[in-house]
Structure 1
Amino acid sequence: MDGDKRVEQAKARISDALTTDIDALRAEVARLTEQLSSFIDEEKSTLSKILSKEAKSAKQMLDSKLSDVGSKAGEISDAAREQASDLQKATLDYITKKPLQSVAIAAGIGLLLGLWSKNRS
Structure 2
Amino acid sequence: MPNTADTKSAAAAAKAARAEDEAATIQENIDRLRGDISSLAKSISRYGTEKTGEYTERASKAGKDIADVSQQTLDSLTEELNRLEQSLTSHVRRKPLQSLGIAAGIGFLIALLSRR
TM-score for both structures, normalised by structure 2 = 0.95
Report how far residue 10 of structure 1 moved.
2.0
RMSD over aligned CA atoms reads 1.2
1:35-82 per-residue CA deviation (whole Å, 9 max, x = no partner) reads 001111111111111111111001001100000000000000101111
The within-5 A match list for 1:1-121 is 6-119=3-116
Aligned length: 116
Identity %: 21
TM-score for both structures, normalised by structure 1 = 0.92
What are structure 1's unaligned runs of at least 5 residues? none
Report how far residue 106 of structure 1 moved.
0.2
Whole-angstrom distance in 2 between the partners of 1:11 and 1:111: 116
Please state whether the residue corresponding to 1:92 is helix, strand or coil.
helix
Whole-angstrom distance in 1 between the partners of 2:23 and 2:104: 99
Whole-angstrom distance in 2 between the partners of 1:10 and 1:114: 115
Report how far residue 6 of structure 1 moved.
2.4
Report how far residue 9 of structure 1 moved.
1.5
Report how far residue 12 of structure 1 moved.
0.4
Q: Which moved more, 1:43-52 or 1:106-115?
A: 43-52
